[in-house]
Structure 1
Amino acid sequence: MTESAAATPPKGPAFYFPSIEKKYGRPIAEWQELIRASPLTKHSELVTWLKTEHGLGHGHANALVAHTLKEDAAGS
């Protein structure tokens, strides 16, 4: 990996991941497991659920849901 590639900050939802892990004390993989285990499937429902049940802020919840659903769609 080149030095400039290593210095390139993450873009999109992943930009929030370091602050999510720091603020809420759980790794991203654990949040993704919770999202995938939820009976909810719609983006907005999952965001609201993370906010109300787990105390996440809107931006952090939105980033986690967007990234997780995109990964799942790519894997199907």
Structure 2
Amino acid sequence: MSADAGQAGGHRVVAPEVDPDAKVKGPASYFPSIEKTYGRPIQDWLDIAADGLVEGRAHMEVVSRLKDDHGMGHGHANAVVAYVKAKLR
């Protein structure tokens, strides 16, 4: 489990603080769009993904759950799961 585990209100993976003037790369670059599109803070999505991965679900199983249960698009779901997976290592 990563150093992020157990921080900030018990979240397994803490949402990054993004400088609006910085060019964000990787999965986190999707986070502003995810919040705008689905109307929930990115921390909610990170928590859902972390719960699934910690329970032993495979990457694509968690992606499918975000898509099927929450209506998230594939690219957004994959970005959330990839970010969480990298932080849990």
Instruction: Specify the alignment match of 1:50 in structure 2.
Output: 66
Total equivalences in the alignment: 69
Give unpaired runs (5+ residues) of structure 2. Answer: 1-18
Give unpaired runs (5+ residues) of structure 1. Answer: none
* SS class of match (1:13): helix
Alignment check: 8 A CA contact 1:40 1:46 kept: no
Instruction: Specify the alignment match of 2:36 in structure 1.
Output: 22
Q: Which has the larger radius of gyration?
A: 1
Superposition deviation, residue 66 in structure 1: 0.2
Q: 1:32 aligns with which of 25, 40, 46?
A: 46
- TM-score, normalized by length of structure 2? 0.69
> Residue 55 and residue 10 in structure 1: after superposition, are their counterparts in 2 closer, same or farther (change >3 A)?
same
Superposition deviation, residue 37 in structure 1: 2.3
Instruction: Specify the alignment match of 1:13 in structure 2.
Output: 27
Identity of aligned residues (%): 48
| 1:15-43 residue CA offsets vs partner (Å, 9 max, x unmatched) | 10000000101111111111222345211
Greater helix share, 1 or 2?
1
Over aligned residue pairs, what C-alpha RMSD do you find? Answer: 1.7
